[in-house]
Amino acid sequence: MGRCRPVALVTQRHLLPPGTLPARAAALAAAGVRLIQVREKDLAGRRLFHLVEQVLAAVARVAGEQCRVVVNGRPDVALAAGAQGVHLPSRGLPVAAVRRLVPPSFLIGVSTHTPADVEDARAAGADYVFFGPVFPTATHPGAAGTGPDGLVPALKAAAGLPLWAIGGIHERTVGDLGQLPLAGVAAMRALLLADDPDLAVRALETVSTSRD
């Protein structure tokens, strides 16, 4: 038996055939992904804007308002394209500065790597945080993962602020997270490169409730 935790997608279009990211994002949203972070740091404003528009349109067709799209590091692009929020890098713009520029419903997420980062994001008024890397990941080569035990002090620092685990999370590692009170889990390769989007999302969202 099990219950479900939300799953987030972090994009990297270079992992896919050219031009296919919007369709892949839509397939994953249809499979149950509930948050998509468009993280394409090499794109300048205009190209990023058009990509976000395409992702938003594709996701809305299959998931309506059930899946929210945020843009990494660019509140201007997020607002212009009509995204639901922005995700700020750990050394990005201050949350308070962004909050002054956006409507109340606009999500502001923050990447965090230590419990102190989490506490700072909470105090600044972030809506959620990503915490990691929990496990070693090719996205951050050389970075040692905190392991599941590292999530415990991070969750304590969050004090109720939604915290998503990220970094090296896939079907073989997600079970190690047990029943920690996470807002959800975020992944890139495990979702973008999966042969079957439905199975990939199901593998990440299922939380075992069995007791040995």
Residue 45 has a pLDDT of 96
Residue 90 has a pLDDT of 92
Residue ranges in the chain modelled with pLDDT below 70: 1-2, 142, 208-212
The CATH number covering residue 47 comes to 3.20.20.70
pTM of the model: 0.94
- Is the bond into 133 cis (omega within 30 degrees of 0)? yes
Residue 1 has a pLDDT of 46
Number of domains in the chain: 1
Distances (CA, A) of 70 to 56, 59, 83, 155, 174: 9, 12, 6, 22, 23
Are 163 and 153 in contact, with CB atoms under 8 Å apart?
no
Q: Please give the residue range of the domain that contains residue 6.
A: 2-208
Handedness of CA 105, 99, 50, 42 (dihedral sign): negative
Q: What is the tens place of the pLDDT at every residue in 66-91?
A: 999 999 999 999 999 999 999 999 99
Neighbours of 128 (CB within 10 A): 22
Residue 2 has a pLDDT of 63
Distances (CA, A) of 156 to 41, 49, 139, 167, 205: 31, 36, 26, 19, 22
Terminus-to-terminus CA distance in the chain, angstroms?
Answer: 12
Are 110 and 130 in contact, with CB atoms under 8 Å apart?
yes
The number of CA neighbours under 13 Å toward the Cβ of 85 is 22
